[in-house]
Amino acid sequence: MRYEIRVDGHMSETLAKAFPELDHVVMSGQTVLFGPVVDDAHLYGLLARCQSLGLRVLEMRRVPE
Amino acid sequence: MDPLGDPFLRTRLAVPARPTTFLRRDRLAGHLDQALGTPLTMVNGGAGAGKTVLVADWADRLERPVAWLTVDASDQAPGVFWAYLLQALRACGVREAEQAGHPADPMSVDHTLLARLAAALNARDEPVIVVVDEYDRVSAPEITEQLGFVLQHAGPGMHLILVTRTEPLLPLHRYRAEGTLTEIREAELAFTPEEAATLLELHGLRLAEDAARALVERTRGWAAGLRLCALAAQQSSDPESYLKEFEAGQSTIADFLLAEVLKRQPAKTQDLLLRVSVLDRFCPDLANALAGRQDAGPILAGLHRANAFVEHLGHSWYRLHPLFAEILAAHLRVRFPGLEAELHRRAAAWLLTCGPLPETLAHGAAAGDWEFTARALVDDLAIGQFFTGPSAEVRTQPRSADLGELFSRMAPDATGPEARLVRAARALSDHDVDRARAQLRHVRKALDADRPRRAAARLSCALLEVLAAGLTGAPGRAEHAAQTVWELQREVPPELLDRHPELAALLQAHLGSARLWAGRFEDARAALRTAAAGSGGASTALPREESLSRLALMDYLDGWPGPAERKALAALTDAERFSLSEPAGPGLGHLVLAAVAVDRDELDAAQALLDRATAAQPEPPDPVTAAGLVIARARLQLARGQIRAALRTAESAVPAAVASPWAEDHTALVVSAAHLAEGAPETAAKVLRDAAERRGACAVGAARAQLAAGNAEAALDLLANPPATDAGGPAVTVRAALVRAQAADQAGDGATARRLAAQALADARRERLRRPVLEAGPWLRRLLGADPLAGAYGAYGAYGAYGRRSAAPRAPGATHQPATTRPLATTRLPLGTRQPAATRPPVAEQPAPLVVEELSGREQDVLQRLAQMMSTEEIAADLFVSVNTVKTHLKSVYRKLGVNRRNEAVRRARDLGLL
């Protein structure tokens, strides 16, 4: 499964390291994290990680392989 | 001494302190006041939304005791969670928590414990206020389910306040619909521009109204964002323009601001902050150890004063705000790649000397240093905790199931003796004795070379050998290893032994089990009683339960069903009190109860108990339990008349290192009884030839077989010279007396036969032993047929049931009565019940005739309606049967009760307790 997670604001390079398994790109006031997600547990883990870093998740969607 | 002991624990049960710049917001406190009117309150918001400080401030001003629990990442197991919650209740003086008991098994909590707690809370006059902070860390759905259960049944006795980042899986919609939920969510927690301006004023920053509005817009009123803003702006030369710049930026807030605040700290402060981000809590000394410096104390105090990152927990322990800790950890990884493991290692090393063991182990594991971690565990003599409850000192911390989980990640290249000991312990707790033995062999070799050092490891090794010997039925090895343990106990610090009562309890329980297997009952009792009498704490609950059920088994085998039942029930009650999970706890206790139930002819109950025991443990973990299962199951099958099945069960092998005399003898007894039931008394006698010389119960069985084969003399011989070793309890003596009575009867000595039978029946009745009477056979019925004795016998009630499920041989011509499943109503009668004189002419003093047959269910129905003065027609209509059918039932009721008329039948039935 591949997912992309759109969070509010420009993430710093340092903070992006908190998601080592994902790539990221910064655009127009948002940061898009994207990459492979192993399973549901990983998915919920990513959401929890966003929350614990104080990130605001705007969108989360599965993208075609 | 602080009742809570552990400082880590104390900080988790205390209402957290507020930062110096805390802004009380009355609109929120007012809303929270409604919590006192609803059973459930939920304060919901993201990290840094200001949830905890809000509730903490409110709770502190309440002037009522509040039970506070901050959930920890290690509380994932229900048993652990409830242990802490109960401790939180106790800490705020809720006595009801004491009555509820302690969960001993981390993986589960017994439902009755929760029910007890809820009922006790429900009965309170003053409701207790319980706050669970960081509830989002609870990931196990069953914990939420259990909490919901307690909440529901505590009724008005509890107000629960959950502080959480995520919605719990409670049926919130229902609470909302009922209006029984107070809810404070993120939008309400957000700062208004006015509040934001006041907050920044506390930081010494003055903001114009529109600037405050813009700031709130940018941060969405997020408390942590505002706080970081204030910090960053404070440190800049021109705070106002700094804030303007920030407002215009597009960065993610916390990340950006934290980096800003961090980079303005002195280098050594930055370094310290990054390093302590691997710790949940820290004191200056621990921080020094991580940073390799001496001045962490003043730095941390300064950070706390400046309200930057660090929160004070009291007793000079600190923690990072969780939000900042996460972000700092990301910075740590970027700035010092690879340092994380080293920091965990240093933390573990520091904690080893001053901290609680679980934290040491957690950091050791996080560092991936398995040799160190295993050694820390073994040197603390904590190896027994793989099997039992916690050490006595931390009663709130149940058996570390996390221990098994923690070490499941252990790298295979850890091959030191301690690492192998841990592997052996894990294998033993999975009942994989072969794997454990292989590890222990290596351990012995390595430790022998290191003598006389490493006493703790050698002691742990010997203890595990005792356990392995107990699990495989190897009494010689168990004794030898136990001796080694006792010798080594002198070489380890006594306070370590005091802290781990589970070591001695485990040793005695398994040593006792091995002795039991070897048939040395007296020695076994000595060891098992020591284990069973041990401290009442949760740490020894499991060995205590195992020992009690083994003592119960010995009582049963010796023919004492009453004491066996009491001990088995005590074992199960104890297990329940400490919430031992089924696989660890019950098993043998249920098996003993099942065997006793068979002796009492309560076959359905026996089946249910057997099912429960085997459901918990499909494969018996040790030979004693395995043999117990074979005996109980075969006896039940025999009682149900399933002869072939009983034989097959008796033949099933019980794997063990050495053979067990009692297991063999009692199995032979079952086989013999099966042959007897099949009409092969010679074979039955032969099977017991050897066993009869060893065991009273077997001598009686052999005598019965000899008698059935027509060798009355041989039978009496067997009974006249019972094996000296065990006299046997009532289950043996009743059977013996019945065989004697039968022999006397056959010899034509009716008087002696009746005297013996009367005595046997009286004894049987006292112990509720119905099965021996049913086994005795049809001659007993003939013997007692028209005899005054019959009164006592009839009252006893076994007679009517004869032949129902009896596996005893049937004499030619004996009628087999129809099977029924109704319990025998007559058993409720006290011995020697007399009937009213009028119903039994002509001799008034004569005892009542016995009820030779129990009433069928339908007959009972008819009888009940008869007693309500219903006519035959009414009864027929009521029962949806024809009048003729009712008449048929009435006739058999009359016949069975020995009466001729309705009113007599009713009176007689009342006298017999049938109505």
Cβ contact (<8 Å) for B327 and A53? yes
Q: Which range scores top for mean pLDDT: B228-232, B420-424, B876-880?
A: B420-424
Give the model's confidence band at B205: pLDDT under 50 very low, under 70 low, under 90 confident, else very high. confident
The Cα-based distances of B535 to B83, B501, B506, B543, B716 in angstroms read 18, 8, 12, 11, 49
Domain ranges for chain B, please list them.
7-189, 193-358, 399-499, 520-640, 656-728, 729-796, 851-911
Closest by alpha carbon to B211, among B227, B196, B233? B196
Please give the pLDDT value at position B710. Answer: 86
Please report the ipTM that was assigned to this predicted complex.
0.83
B309: its two tokens: 């990152």
Q: Which chain A residue is nearest to residue B327, measuring alpha carbons? A: A53
Running DSSP on this structure, what letter comes out for residue B77? S
Compare CB distances from B259 to A14, A18, A53 and report the shortest one's residue: A14
- What is the second-level CATH architecture of the domain B520-640? Alpha Horseshoe (1.25)
Do residues B328 and B277 make contact, with C-beta atoms less than 8 angstroms apart?
yes
Compare CB distances from B253 to A13, A52, A54 and report the shortest one's residue: A54
Q: Which range scores top for mean pLDDT: B285-294, B710-719, B844-853?
A: B285-294
Q: Residues of B with CB below 8 A from A54's CB? A: 46-48, 222, 224-225, 252-255, 323, 327
Cβ contact (<8 Å) for A53 and B334? no
- Span B10-24, average pLDDT: 84
Cβ contact (<8 Å) for B252 and A18? no
- Cβ atoms < 10 Å from Cβ of B608: 15
Give the model's confidence band at B868: pLDDT under 50 very low, under 70 low, under 90 confident, else very high. confident
Cβ contact (<8 Å) for A14 and B329? no
Please give the pLDDT value at position B842. Answer: 37
B498: its two tokens: 């005091």
Taking the alpha carbons at both ends of chain B, their separation in whole angstroms is: 62
- Between A62 and B140, the more confident residue is A62
Helix (H/G/I), strand (E/B), else coil: B582? coil
Please give the pLDDT value at position B583. Answer: 45
Indicate if the pLDDT at residue B747 is higher than 60: yes
With an 8 Å Cβ cutoff, is B658 touching chain A?
no
Substitution target from B252, B274, B328 for chain A, most A beta carbons within 10 A? B252
- Span B491-505, average pLDDT: 87
- Between B792 and B207, the more confident residue is B207
Please give the pLDDT value at position B801. Answer: 38
Please give the pLDDT value at position B636. Answer: 94
Give the model's confidence band at B452: pLDDT under 50 very low, under 70 low, under 90 confident, else very high. confident
- Span B692-702, average pLDDT: 86
Closest by alpha carbon to B750, among B790, B787, B800, B722? B787
**Burial of B619 from C-beta contacts in 10 A (0-12 / 13-18 / 19+):** exposed
- Between B850 and B879, the more confident residue is B879
Residues 491-520 of B with CB under 8 A from A: none
Cβ contact (<8 Å) for A14 and B331? yes
Cβ contact (<8 Å) for A54 and B251? no
Please give the pLDDT value at position B535. Answer: 67
Please give the pLDDT value at position B909. Answer: 82
Please give, rounded to a whole number of angstroms, the shortest distance from the CA of A7 to a CA of chain B. 8
Give the model's confidence band at B822: pLDDT under 50 very low, under 70 low, under 90 confident, else very high. very low
Please give, rounded to a whole number of angstroms, the shortest distance from the CA of A55 to a CA of chain B. 7
Q: What is the DSSP string of B272-306?
A: HHHHHTT-SSB-HHHHHHHHT-S-HHHHHHHHHHT
Cβ contact (<8 Å) for A54 and B255? yes
Which stretches of chain A sit within 8 Å of chain B by CB? 7-15, 17-18, 29, 31, 49, 51-56
Q: Position of tokens 């303005």? A: B264
Please give, rounded to a whole number of angstroms, the shortest distance from the CA of B327 to a CA of chain A. 6
With an 8 Å Cβ cutoff, is B327 touching chain A?
yes
Cβ contact (<8 Å) for B47 and A53? yes
Running DSSP on this structure, what letter comes out for residue B710? T
Please give the pLDDT value at position B402. Answer: 66
Give the separation between CA B658 and CA B515, rounded to whole angstroms: 11
Q: Residues of A with CB below 8 A from B253's CB? A: 9, 54
- Between B20 and B397, the more confident residue is B20
- What is the second-level CATH architecture of the domain A2-63? 2-Layer Sandwich (3.30)
Do residues B147 and B160 make contact, with C-beta atoms less than 8 angstroms apart?
yes
Running DSSP on this structure, what letter comes out for residue A57? E
Q: Which range scores top for mean pLDDT: B51-55, B651-655, B776-780?
A: B51-55
- CB neighbour list of residue A19: distance below 8 Å, 6 or more residues apart: A33, A46, A49
Please give, rounded to a whole number of angstroms, the shortest distance from the CA of B49 to a CA of chain A. 9
Give the separation between CA B169 and CA A28, rounded to whole angstroms: 36
- Span B95-122, average pLDDT: 79
Q: Residues of B with CB below 8 A from A57's CB? A: none
Do residues B148 and B170 make contact, with C-beta atoms less than 8 angstroms apart?
yes
Residues 246-275 of B with CB under 8 A from A: 249-256, 259
Q: How many CB pairs under 8 A join A and B?
A: 75
Q: Which chain A residue is nearest to residue B332, measuring alpha carbons? A: A14
Q: Which chain A residue is nearest to residue B325, measuring alpha carbons? A: A53
Domain ranges for chain A, please list them.
2-63
Helix (H/G/I), strand (E/B), else coil: B317? strand
Q: Which chain B residue is nearest to residue A27, measuring alpha carbons? A: B250
Please give the pLDDT value at position B7. Answer: 54
Q: What is the pLDDT of residues B753-779, one digit of tens each?
A: 888 888 888 888 888 888 888 887 777
Least confident range of A11-15, B573-577, B816-820:
B816-820
Give the separation between CA B744 and CA B749, rounded to whole angstroms: 5
- Between B254 and B474, the more confident residue is B474
Q: What is the pLDDT of residues B260-298, one digit of tens each?
A: 888 888 889 999 999 999 998 898 999 999 998 899 999
- Span B288-312, average pLDDT: 85
Cβ contact (<8 Å) for A31 and B252? yes
- What is the second-level CATH architecture of the domain B851-911? Orthogonal Bundle (1.10)
Give the model's confidence band at B853: pLDDT under 50 very low, under 70 low, under 90 confident, else very high. low
Please give the pLDDT value at position B724. Answer: 57
Percent of chain B clearing pLDDT 90 (strictly above):
26
Please give, rounded to a whole number of angstroms, the shortest distance from the CA of A30 to a CA of chain B. 8
Q: Residues of A with CB below 8 A from B254's CB? A: 53-55
**Burial of A60 from C-beta contacts in 10 A (0-12 / 13-18 / 19+):** middle
Give the model's confidence band at B817: pLDDT under 50 very low, under 70 low, under 90 confident, else very high. very low
Indicate if the pLDDT at residue B840 is higher than 90: no
Q: What is the pLDDT of residues B116-143, one digit of tens each?
A: 899 989 988 889 999 999 998 888 888 9
Q: Which chain B residue is nearest to residue A18, measuring alpha carbons? A: B330
With an 8 Å Cβ cutoff, is B870 touching chain A?
no
Query: CATH for B7-189, among 3.50.50.60, 3.40.50.300, 3.40.50.2020, 3.40.50.2300?
Result: 3.40.50.300
Q: What is the pLDDT of residues A25-56, one digit of tens each?
A: 998 889 999 999 999 889 998 998 898 888 98
Indicate if the pLDDT at residue B46 is higher than 60: yes
Closest by alpha carbon to B851, among B788, B817, B898, B889? B898
Indicate if the pLDDT at residue B328 is higher than 60: yes
Compare CB distances from B46 to A10, A13, A54 and report the shortest one's residue: A54
Please give the pLDDT value at position B104. Answer: 66
Q: What is the pLDDT of residues B779-812, one digit of tens each?
A: 787 777 644 334 444 444 444 333 333 333 333 3
Indicate if the pLDDT at residue B354 is higher than 90: no
Please give the pLDDT value at position B258. Answer: 83
Compare CB distances from B252 to A11, A49, A51 and report the shortest one's residue: A11
Please give the pLDDT value at position B395. Answer: 37
Please give the pLDDT value at position B654. Answer: 81
Q: Report the mean per-residue pLDDT for chain B.
A: 82
Q: Residues of A with CB below 8 A from B249's CB? A: 10
Compare CB distances from A15 to B249, B250, B255 and report the shortest one's residue: B255
Give the separation between CA B111 and CA B901, rounded to whole angstroms: 52
Give the separation between CA B750 and CA B757, rounded to whole angstroms: 10
- Span B571-583, average pLDDT: 66
Give the model's confidence band at B536: pLDDT under 50 very low, under 70 low, under 90 confident, else very high. low
With an 8 Å Cβ cutoff, is B244 touching chain A?
no
